Amino acid sequence: MRVDLTITNLSEIVSPKGKPPVCGKNMSQLSIRKNKNIAIKDGKIVYIGSEIPPALRTINANGAIALPGLVDPHTHIPFTGNRAHEFIMRLHGKSYMEIMQAGGGILSTVKAVRKASLKELVLRGAYALNEMLKLGVTTVEGKSGYGLEKTAEIKQLKALKLLNKVQLVDVIPTFLGAHALPEEFEDKKEYLNYLSNMLKDVREYTDTVDIFCEKGVFEVEESREFLERAKAMGFRLRLHADELAPSGAGKLAVELRAVSADHLISADDETLEAISKSATTAVILPGTSFFLKERFARGRKMIDLGSAVALASDFNPGSCNIYDPYLIMHLAVTRCGLEIEEAVTAYTINAAHILNLSNRKGKIEEGYDADIVLLGLNSYTEIPYMFSRITVVSVIKSGRVVFHES
Contact 188, 218 (CB under 8 A): yes
Q: What is the mean pLDDT of the chain?
A: 96
For 275-331, the pLDDT digits (tens) are 999 999 999 999 999 999 999 999 999 999 999 999 999 999 999 999 999 999 999
Contact 327, 387 (CB under 8 A): yes
- The single-letter DSSP state of residue 265 is T
* pLDDT: which is higher, 358 or 94: 358
Overall average pLDDT of the 254-260 stretch: 98
**Considering only CA atoms, which of 155, 143, 208, 206 is closest in space to residue 180?**
143
What confidence score (pLDDT) does residue 103 get? 64
The number of angstroms, rounded, from the C-alpha of 171 to the middle of its chain's C-alpha atoms is 10
Alpha-carbon distance values, 341 to 31, 63, 68 (Å): 10, 20, 13
What confidence score (pLDDT) does residue 83 get? 80
Q: Within 13 Å of residue 150, how many CA atoms lie on the same side as its CB?
A: 10
- What are the contacts of 375-381 at 24+ separation with CB within 8 A? 375/64, 375/65, 375/67, 375/136, 376/64, 376/405, 377/64, 377/65, 378/11, 378/63, 378/65, 379/11, 379/12, 379/65, 380/12, 380/14, 380/30, 380/32, 380/65, 380/67, 380/340, 380/344, 381/340
Least reliable range by pLDDT among 91-95, 122-126, 338-342: 91-95
Residue 363 has phi, psi (to 5 degrees) of: -140, 155
